[in-house]
């Protein structure tokens, strides 16, 4: 089986004006970009809009990508800034995606769909739902670190954070996720961790 064409080659072809290379890049990353956008903006409709904007910005600024970082890191940085701009437009009072001060939604009544996830007895669905209940920033950093396997250095570049800040945010996000899972999905994640 032929090896897939690398991102670098696709970028070169796209820069040379090959539409097929642009299309392949979109198809290769549409799920990643859409998932991350959805984690930030929380609505599928808005996530489609943000994801489309991301790809357009990716094409626009592709010539500026010098390969200093991984292509995915560069792309996720675009997703983060596009989502942030989108949220600022929708709710002008949002100055940052960091909702650290926002109280957690730990009660079952705050998450009406939680019971559906429980009925399905599906840990994945419950975990997915728990991540959805996190704030934008928490869901984003959890997704980037655990699902997209971006290391802390890369997360710093994507979210424009210092190393200490990124580590603290990740730690807090994990704690909040744990709290949400304990409060809403105790059947799936029955073993409570140490206080």
Q: Does 175 bind other proteins (CB under 8 A)?
A: yes
Cβ-in-10-Å burial (0-12, 13-18, 19+) of 19 comes to: exposed
Q: How many CA atoms lie within 13 A of 127 on its CB side?
A: 10
Distance CA(58)–CA(36), nearest Å, equals 15
32 contributes a contact to other proteins by CB under 8 A: yes
Contacts with other proteins by CB under 8 A: the residue count is 51
Instruction: Establish if 162 lies at the interface with other proteins (CB under 8 A).
Output: no
Residue-by-residue DSSP string for 107-163: SGGG-TTHHHHHHTT-HHHHHHHHHHHS-HHHHHHHIIIIIS---HHHHHHHHT--H
**The one segment of 60-68, 83-91, 94-102, 103-111 that binds other proteins by CB under 8 A:** 60-68
Contact status: 112 vs other proteins (CB under 8 A): no
Which residues bind to other proteins, rule: CB under 8 A?
8, 11-13, 15-17, 19, 22-23, 26-27, 30-32, 34-35, 38, 44, 47-48, 51-52, 55-56, 59-60, 63, 65-67, 123-124, 127-128, 131, 142, 145-147, 149, 167, 170-171, 174-175, 178, 189, 191, 193-194
């Amino acid at each position: 089986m032929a090896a897939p064409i690398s991102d670098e080659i696709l970028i070169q072809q796209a820069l040379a004006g090959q539409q097929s290379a642009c299309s392949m890049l979109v198809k290769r990353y549409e799920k990643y970009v859409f998932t991350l956008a959805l984690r930030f903006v929380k609505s599928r409709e808005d996530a489609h809009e943000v994801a489309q904007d991301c790809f357009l910005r990716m094409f626009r600024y592709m010539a500026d990508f010098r390969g200093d970082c991984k292509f995915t890191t560069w792309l996720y940085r675009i997703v983060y800034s596009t989502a942030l701009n989108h949220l600022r437009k929708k709710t002008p009072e949002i100055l940052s995606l960091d909702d650290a001060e926002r109280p957690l939604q730990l009660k079952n009544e705050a998450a009406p769909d939680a019971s559906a996830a429980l009925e399905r007895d599906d840990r994945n669905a419950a975990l997915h739902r728990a991540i959805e209940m996190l704030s934008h920033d928490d869901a984003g950093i959890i997704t980037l670190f655990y699902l997209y396997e971006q290391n802390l250095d890369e997360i710093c570049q994507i979210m424009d954070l210092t190393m200490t800040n990124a580590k603290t945010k990740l730690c807090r996000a994990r704690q909040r996720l744990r709290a949400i899972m304990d409060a809403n999905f105790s059947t799936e994640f029955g073993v409570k961790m140490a206080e």
